[in-house]
Structure 1
Amino acid sequence: NMRNYFQGGKVKHWCQDPYVRGAFAFLTPFQETELVEKLEAPISNIHFIGEYTSFVHGWVEGALSSAIRAAEAITTEPGTVVPTNGIQTISINFYEFLSIAVMLIR
């Protein structure tokens, strides 16, 4: 059961935030090449994911690819032990994925 391996996280309900009135990231010319690399960079053990951290911003593909990027970065850090016993498949509810901002914490 994946719940046994989950150590913590944070859910942000963007629709309940009175200061948020946007949608997907809309970068101006040259911002993509200047900012995406900085946006996807972890700070210590905090990895940021979401369509705004991807070159495919504005689309579900960008959100998913950023999640895969962060998961790969976390699991390949020196000293990281990834438990695999009993894990066969991972199922994602894409409707929940679209409405939740996830901060991965190792």
Structure 2
Amino acid sequence: MTLDLPQGLLTFYCPLAGPVSGEADALRKRTLAWAHRFDLGEGDDQRAALFAQTGATMAAYLSPLAKGDVAQAFSDYNAWAWAANDRSGSAEHGENQARSPRRWCHHQAMVG
């Protein structure tokens, strides 16, 4: 079943018109890799991709002038925040929500 909708009807869905980061595609790719590395989807690749896409898109639209590590940190943080939000209130995911920052800290200690 398809709906014949007037063109432009759903433009209200993303009202963030204007500048978008020139690093948007790179942010998406790096945030996706980051989301998989820290298992934000808890074994579900599609959930990890959803969180990464949402985090990177939010960063690209809300801070279009951010570059490099600052833009990437904002994008990764947003992906984690969306994952945490998705899990909030769920007893099943509560422990994993707290474990994710610990994994990040452990990874940073090993890399740094």
Scaled by the length of structure 2, the TM-score of the pair is 0.32
Flag the structure with higher helix content. Answer: 2
Structure with higher strand content: 1
Normalised by the length of structure 1, the TM-score is 0.34
Which structure exhibits the higher relative contact order, with contacts defined as CA atoms closer than 8 Å and separated by 6 or more residues?
A: 1
